[in-house]
């Protein structure tokens, strides 16, 4: 893999949680794999007063040290610098410019800068504008790229405004909207599974697929993020971004080539084909839930409303299941089901393609014969892999059929390095590849789809929000959403499905 060009990565919000939990470990991972350029610096920027050394010491705490990696960590630390700055004050940006210039000449780095906005979203307006005011958006003498973390707006209107504002100061090809799901190896593998195998693509359509089910379940609750989450909820936190991106990759047409525009054009077309759910239909197609206090084993688990930072009367959804259609030639009439939630029994993300039954049930007359429902499970996490469920003859007399699993686990590929999502995405941005970043038009389309649902919940308080005991698979009423068949109850282990799992 080629190393990116020398550059300085400026992290705004450097004293925040994301920087130490995700960004610094991801950069260290790139360092240990020799994927960072020789001339490279990270400039942490934030209001907190810190020296370079103090910043390095703070970041060091988040790198797991052992007997073998002390030297690696020390070598990595040398790349970290810090600048105190009130990011909200435009008139402080000349200081930033000066610091970048002096770092550049000290370390022989050209004017290649990546800006990472790891800040609260209310700074997404002022930072790009202030950078532009001092010419730090100008790519004439070196690349200037801007990485933005979600949320990309909190509704359709604010998402449009955000895009408009960003485009006042940066061009679309300088913008990298990060969705860490796209950085997951197994998410990218969905494209490879679909488009490199002759056997899947011919059946990947309405003629053979009965329905598609996408689950992203978490065992954790909102932890320390109650304040943020209570204004967000599962729709804004998971569905509008991560799950819609999964839908895009599962449902898209083959791109002409693998590059940023070709792939993103195809996912956009999927979003353009989503059948809108009208406000009046929301109750029928979307079910929301909120976890309530429960006992798991000997432990008493808090309900959502008891969590720190959450309104005790909150009606924010921690669970959501919905059914929708994609109105195009490939998917006409095929229901798509997605479900996500916090405090569910297992941490699992997977896509399940449920195939139609055989047209004639040849073996269906015997009492011991199962009705085979062929499923292809693309497991995104954990126990990453693929599982195909097929019918097999039970040995012995007669023609009794039983469903069996054919499965592949990534863990079987020993010595294979699975990069973290942030490591992969940061490296892509350093190399100028936006394929796995969300494009502005697609983000807006995804908002267009979810907005009527948010409106309905806001305008019509009678739409129920169902309680579900923490540690269960969500409100029971969700079963009614699935017309035929039933939701899969996946476990941590890919092949152990249908069992009740751990919390």
Catalytic residues: 242
For ligand BG6, give the closer residue by CB, 28 or 152. 152
Distances from the Cα of 60 to the Cαs of 16, 56, 64, 108, 213, in angstroms? 14, 6, 8, 25, 41
On the CB side of 141, CA atoms within 13 Å amount to 7
CB of 53 to ligand BG6, least distance (A): 32
User: 86: Cβ–Cβ under 8 A, 6 or more apart, which residues?
Assistant: 47, 92
Instruction: Let me know: does 327 contact 317? Beta carbons within 8 Å.
Output: no
Q: Which residue in 12, 5, 6, 165 sits closest to 96, CA to CA?
A: 12
Calpha distance 391→442 (Å, rounded): 39
Write the Ramachandran bin of 454: left for phi over 0, alpha for psi from -120 to 50, otherwise beta.
alpha
CB of 316 to ligand BG6, least distance (A): 12
CB of 237 to ligand BG6, least distance (A): 5
Q: Which helix (H) or strand (E) holds 138?
A: none
79: helix, coil or strand?
A: coil
Binding mask 324-363 for ligand BG6 (x = CB under 6 A): -------------------------x--------------
3-state percent helix, strand, coil for the chain, nearest multiple of 5? 35, 20, 45
Residues 386-415 that bind ligand BG6 (CB under 6 A): none
Q: Which helix (H) or strand (E) holds 24?
A: helix 24-32
For ligand BG6, give the closer residue by CB, 17 or 138. 17
CB of 77 to ligand BG6, least distance (A): 27
CB of 307 to ligand BG6, least distance (A): 13
Residues 105-124 that bind ligand BG6 (CB under 6 A): none
CB of 384 to ligand BG6, least distance (A): 12
Calpha distance 59→67 (Å, rounded): 18
Size of the site for ligand BG6 (CB under 6 A): 4
CB of 223 to ligand BG6, least distance (A): 9
Binding mask 421-460 for ligand BG6 (x = CB under 6 A): ----------------------------------------
Calpha distance 436→432 (Å, rounded): 11
Sheet arrangement for strand 336-341: 401-409, 385-393, 375-381, 348-355, 209-217, 336-341, 319-324, 286-292, 466-469
The radius of gyration of the chain's CA atoms, rounded to the nearest angstrom, is 24
- Asked whether position 237 contacts ligand BG6 by CB under 6 A, the answer is yes
Pairing of the two strands 336-341 and 209-217: parallel
Calpha distance 88→100 (Å, rounded): 18
DSSP state of 303: P
For ligand BG6, give the closer residue by CB, 76 or 473. 473
With CB under 6 A as the contact rule, the residue among 218, 230, 307, 384 that binds ligand BG6 is 218
Calpha distance 71→74 (Å, rounded): 5
Calpha distance 491→475 (Å, rounded): 18
For ligand BG6, give the closer residue by CB, 208 or 228. 228
Binding mask 177-216 for ligand BG6 (x = CB under 6 A): ---x------------------------------------
CB of 121 to ligand BG6, least distance (A): 13
Q: Which residue is nearest to ligand BG6 (CB)?
A: 237
CB of 222 to ligand BG6, least distance (A): 8
Instruction: Let me know: does 295 contact 301? Beta carbons within 8 Å.
Output: yes
Q: Which residues bind ligand BG6 (CB under 6 A)?
A: 180, 218, 237, 349
């Amino acid at each position: 893999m080629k190393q990116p060009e020398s550059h300085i990565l400026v992290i705004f919000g450097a004293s925040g949680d994301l920087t130490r939990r995700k960004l610094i470990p991801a950069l260290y991972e790139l360092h240990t794999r020799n994927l960072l350029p020789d001339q490279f610096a990270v400039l942490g920027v934030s209001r907190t007063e810190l020296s370079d050394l103090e910043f390095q010491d703070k970041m060091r705490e988040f790198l797991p040290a052992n007997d073998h990696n002390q030297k690696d960590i020390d070598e990595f630390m040398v790349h970290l610098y810090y600048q105190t700055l009130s990011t909200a004050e435009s008139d402080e940006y000349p200081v930033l410019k000066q610091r970048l210039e002096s770092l550049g000449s000290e370390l022989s780095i050209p004017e290649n800068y990546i800006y990472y906005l790891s800040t609260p979203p209310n700074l997404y307006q002022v930072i790009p504008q202030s950078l532009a005011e001092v010419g730090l958006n100008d790519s004439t003498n070196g690349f200037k790229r801007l990485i933005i973390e979600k949320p990309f707006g909190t509704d359709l209107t604010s998402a449009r405004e955000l895009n408009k504002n960003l485009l006042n100061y940066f061009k679309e090809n300088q913008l990298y909207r990060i969705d860490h799901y796209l950085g997951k190896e197994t998410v990218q593998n969905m494209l490879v599974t679909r488009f490199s195998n002759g056997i899947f693509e011919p059946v990947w359509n309405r003629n053979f697929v009965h329905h598609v089910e996408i689950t992203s379940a978490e065992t954790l609750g909102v932890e320390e993020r109650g304040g943020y989450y209570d204004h967000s909820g599962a729709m804004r936190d998971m569905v509008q971004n991560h799950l819609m991106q999964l839908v895009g990759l599962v449902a898209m047409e083959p791109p002409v080539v693998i590059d940023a525009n070709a792939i993103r054009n195809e996912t956009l077309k999927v979003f353009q084909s989503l059948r809108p759910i009208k406000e009046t239909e929301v109750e029928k197609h979307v079910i929301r839930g909120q976890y309530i206090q429960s006992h798991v084993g000997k432990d008493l688990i808090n309900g959502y409303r008891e969590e720190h930072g959450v309104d005790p009367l909150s009606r924010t959804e921690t669970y959501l299941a919905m059914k929708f259609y994609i109105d195009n030639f490939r998917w006409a009439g095929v229901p798509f089901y997605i479900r996500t939630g916090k405090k569910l029994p297992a941490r699992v993300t997977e896509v399940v393609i449920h195939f139609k039954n055989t047209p004639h049930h040849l073996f269906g007359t015997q009492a011991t014969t199962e009705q085979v429902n062929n499923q292809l499970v693309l497991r995104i996490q954990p126990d990453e892999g693929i599982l195909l469920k097929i019918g097999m003859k039970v040995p012995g007399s007669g023609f009794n059929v039983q469903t069996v699993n054919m499965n592949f686990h990534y863990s079987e590929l020993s010595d294979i390095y699975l990069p973290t999502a942030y490591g992969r995405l940061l490296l892509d941005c350093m190399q100028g590849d936006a394929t796995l970043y969300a494009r502005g038009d697609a983000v807006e389309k995804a908002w267009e789809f979810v907005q009527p649902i948010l409106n309905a919940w806001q305008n019509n308080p009678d739409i129920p929000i169902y309680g579900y005991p923490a540690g269960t698979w969500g409100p029971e009423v969700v079963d009614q959403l699935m017309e035929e068949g039933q939701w899969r109850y996946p476990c941590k282990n890919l092949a152990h499905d249908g069992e009740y799992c751990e919390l």
